[in-house]
């Protein structure tokens, strides 16, 4: 499973305006609410917020990765936003966030969930990828960036 096979243009937002972590997560959940793989919007929201309360998903390097294993989706769901302004996300490195990637996978896909988290972290954690994501001017450009970055990575 590759990121490029899970991320679609309608679920990519560039230069999102938002002032707080709470607002950003709400906007990301709203973005995926009409996704055909989302079976229960309310449950998805509950599960993402439950995970966020356990520990911030600000993973460092200006990236946040709110996520959940949930019965609310039939297959993995992915969305990405770049933020117009960096925000505090209570990240592990105490740095503000400018890239937010939401991932939801079915509860039964624990192995794939962990592999996808690792893959996203590995790719988005590269300095050149983060710079290109923040500078991207279209959803298509973001998808091409992931396609290129995943060329040499094994299939999950």
> The CATH number of the domain where 77 resides is what?
3.40.930.10
User: At residue 13, what are phi and psi to the nearest 5 degrees?
Assistant: -125, 130
Domain count, the chain: 1
In a domain, 68, yes or no: yes
DSSP E strands in 5-149: the ranges are 12-16, 58-60, 63-64, 67-70, 77-87, 97-106
Structure tokens at 18: 């938002």
For residues 155 and 1, is the Cβ–Cβ distance under 8 A?
Answer: yes
Q: Please choose, from the candidates 58, 65, 60, the residue with its C-alpha nearest in 3D space to the C-alpha of residue 79.
A: 65
pLDDT of 123 higher than 90: yes
pLDDT band for 153, please (50, 70, 90 cuts). Answer: low
Range of the domain at 81: 3-150
The bridge status of strand 97-106 relative to strand 12-16 is: unpaired
**Mean pLDDT of the 15-20 span:** 90
pLDDT score at 93: 93
Q: Is the pLDDT assigned to residue 2 strictly greater than 90? A: no
Q: Is 93 helix (H, G, I), strand (E, B) or coil?
A: coil
């Amino acid at each position: 499973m590759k990121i490029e096979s899970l991320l679609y243009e309608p679920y990519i937002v560039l230069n999102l305006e938002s002032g707080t972590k709470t607002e950003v997560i709400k906007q990301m959940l709203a973005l995926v609410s009409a996704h055909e793989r989302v079976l229960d919007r309310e449950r998805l929201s509950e599960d993402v917020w439950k995970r966020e309360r356990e520990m911030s998903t600000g993973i460092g390097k200006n990236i946040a990765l709110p996520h959940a294993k949930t019965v609310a989706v039939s297959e993995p769901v992915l969305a990405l936003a770049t933020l117009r302004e960096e925000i505090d996300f209570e990240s592990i490195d105490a740095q503000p966030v400018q890239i937010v990637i939401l991932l939801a996978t079915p509860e039964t896909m624990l192995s794939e969930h962990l592999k996808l988290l690792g893959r996203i972290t590995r790719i988005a954690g590269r300095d050149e990828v983060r710079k290109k994501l923040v500078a991207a001017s279209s959803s298509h450009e973001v998808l091409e960036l992931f396609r290129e970055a995943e060329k040499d990575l094994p299939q999950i």
